[in-house]
Every structure is written in structure tokens, then in C-alpha cells.
Amino acid sequence: MKIKGKEYKTIWFENNIVKIIDQTKLPHDFVIKDLKTVDDVINAIKTMEVRGAPLIGATAAYGIVLALIKDNDQSYVEQTCKKLINSRPTAINLKWAIDRMRSKLKGVNSSEILEIAIKEANYICEEDIKFCKKIGLNGLNIIEEIYNKKKDTVNILTHCNAGWLATINWGTATSPIYHAQQKGIPIHVWVDETRPRNQGANLTSFELNEENISNTIIADNTGGILMQRREVDLCIVGTDRTLSNGDVCNKVGTYLKALAAKDNNIPFYVALPSSTIDWDLRNSKNIPIEERNSEELSFIEGLDDHGNLKKIRIYPENSNSLNLAFDVTPAKYITGLITEKGVCSASEKGLSKLFK
Ligand code: MRU
């Protein structure tokens, strides 16, 4: 997708360096950052210079490449894999990507291992692009159906950033939107601000603007009234981990939007590539929910009158705050899952039909 009219992917590998778009600088600055070591990769994932489930998986895969460039000793690489998996706990794509690299590299001799690792990490990225594009085409049918009935602008609500910046390209929740726009369907997106880190306002709105898609940022609590007023036709969100029973773990606040959508009889879809399915965990209570630094709540960053980036405290210094980063939406509130293989019900049966 485009930034200032130029096509980008979120990550690429060049001259033994991992190149990323530093998302902590968006929307005010566009900075391409070099990751040269595994520690750079772990830091980029932890500080959310890269973020979004598919993108952190791909970044971790390149982390193994950087580890191998330094030293291809088995125990060092294994130690690195563990550190990478632990860098953010909730999105399953991290473990998925590391497991895939591990199994590809198992038993490979040291003269070939680096070349094979680079190829596999590149392939993880290419596959993600292909899958996100297919998600877009499958989700397009849903939008088109609504448009054919309504014959007017389709209003879509999304939460957090499940856009191309969270993947390698296209995005998950946004891919059907980009495909609808390309087909000439009039679209307007309600963008949940997504406190505390404002991924909706800073990233989703930014990327939609760059692609000339009409969008409006709303405070996270506004979705309910818009749904009551029938100003939302459809919700599409992403996910960090979807269980085989269809329960969806995504950015905190997703659950409340799903409840409001259910109460107002508005379709609520979740878009995901198969790398986000956790086939092992049976109970969503066992999903590790990331708790981030409470300063993400009590401080806010933005431009001052002179255009300088400033970070200011917005809460009383002696107040406590709690920063849970994700929540779980039970399958019963989800109209369907939009995947690279098609759209299915959020259930064991639905997912098995497509993937097993
Ligand atoms: O904490 P973040 O910004 O990494 O959370 C990201 C999300 O919750 C996205 O919706 C999810 O990763 C899906 S990305 C295609």
C-alpha cells in the first residue's frame, strides 16, 4: 500500500539488514529503521516499532536470520527462539513463525542454514501478502452484498489497526475495504481511536487517508450510539489469536463492540490469516493477556503548536492505572470469520471445514 504515493511493504530484508517502518513515529514522521541484531528485533517488537499479529511473526522470523548471521550454534539459536516468542505474549503468530522456522531449519547443515532461513522468512512474508489479498476478496463479497441492498455508502467500523501496517501488505480487516474501494463501492470507515496507544487514530486513519478512503476517527465509546442510530452497516476487526472454537482475542475493547453489534443486529466479522489460529489452546481463559506499562495510559504524545513531538502526563501522578492490552470476544457474538480460504462461522465446525 502507499505512503505519500509510493508503494511500501512493512518489512523487507536487504544486505543482511531487516528494514521496518517505525510505527511509533507515525503518523507525524515516516522513518525507515534498520534492525541489525536480534536485540534490535526484540526491542522493535516490545516497543511496538513493529506491531500487529502477522507483522510481529514475520519480524521474529527475520530475528532468527539475524541470529544465524551472528552465530549458527544450535543452542544459541534455540535460546534466541525462546526470547523472540516471549517478546509479546498474546499474538500466536510469533510462536507460529518461530515454529515454522525451527521445523524448516531442523537438520540443515551449517553451510546452507542461513540461505534457507532467509528464504523461509521471505516466504512467510510473501505468503502473508497472498493470504491477506485473499481475505480481501472473500470479505469483498460481504461488503458488496450490503451495498447491493443499500445502494448507498457502506459504513464499516473497525477497532485498533488491523490494516496493512499490522501485516506485510493489505491488512486483514482493511483488505476487504481496499478491495471494495478498488471495485468502486462507496465506503466510509468509522475508526475507533483505540486507547491507550491510539493505533486506530495514528495508524488506521493514516493508512486509509494515504489510500484516499473516507474515514472518521471516533472515541472508543462512540460505536454504540452510532450502531443504535444505524450509522454502522458492518464491523470488521482483526485478531491476535483465534481459538479453534471460534473465540477471538483482539485489542482490548473489541468485546464491547461485539456486544453492541449483537444488541443492534449489526454483522460483526473478524478477518484473519490461518497463522492466527491457535489449534492447541482449548479455553480462551488460558490465553496470555498482555499487560503493558501503565504509562501508556497516563501519558499522551502529540505535536505541540510548533510541530514538536511532546509527551505529557494526563493523569494525577498518584493515581493507579491498569493497561490490559487485549480481550476475548466469545464466538457467539461473531457473525463470521473471513480467512484466506473463505468465510466461515466462528466455530470448530466452521474452521475445520476450511482448514482440516
Ligand atoms: O497491540 P497491537 O497494536 O499489536 O494489537 C494489534 C491488534 O490487536 C490487531 O487488531 C491484530 O493484531 C490483528 S492485525 C492484522
Q: In sequence order, which residues have a C-beta less than 8 Å from that of residue 284 and are 6 or more positions away?
A: 243, 245, 247, 249, 328, 330
Indicate whether residue 253 lines ligand 1 (CB < 6 A).
no
Domain containing 109: what range?
A: 2-127
Q: Of the candidates 127, 159, 194, which is a domain's last residue?
A: 127
Q: Give the whole-angstrom CA distance, residue 141 versus residue 138.
A: 6
pLDDT above 90 covers what percent of the chain? Answer: 99
Ramachandran bin of 214, using left for φ above 0, alpha for ψ from -120 to 50, beta for the remaining angles: beta
Residue 356 banded pLDDT, cuts 50, 70, 90: confident
- Tens of pLDDT, residue by residue over 297-349, are 999 999 999 999 999 999 999 999 999 999 999 999 999 999 999 999 999 99
Catalytic residue among 128, 192, 233, 240: 240
224 lies in the same domain as 242? yes
**Using CA atoms in the order 323, 47, 42, 28, what is the torsion angle rounded to 10 degrees?**
150
Indicate whether residue 166 lines ligand 1 (CB < 6 A).
yes
**Which whole number is the average pLDDT over 24-28?**
97
- Tens of pLDDT, residue by residue over 186-217, are 999 999 999 999 999 999 999 999 999 999 99
Indicate whether residue 251 lines ligand 1 (CB < 6 A).
yes
Amino acid identity for residue 2 in this structure: K
155 lies in the same domain as 289? yes
192 lies in the same domain as 263? yes
- Tens of pLDDT, residue by residue over 141-153, are 999 999 999 999 9
Give catalytic status of residue 40 as yes or no.
no
What is the distance in A from the centroid of ligand 1 to the CA of 66? 24
What is the distance in A from the centroid of ligand 1 to the CA of 56? 10
Residue 111 belongs to domain with CATH number: 1.20.120.420
Question: Sign of the C-alpha dihedral, residues 254, 255, 260, 261?
Answer: positive
Q: Which of 88, 174, 240, 278 to mutate to test the pocket of ligand 1 (most atoms within 8 A of CB)?
A: 240
Indicate whether residue 196 lines ligand 1 (CB < 6 A).
no
116 lies in the same domain as 183? no
280 lies in the same domain as 216? yes
Other beta carbons within 10 angstroms of residue 177's beta carbon come to 30
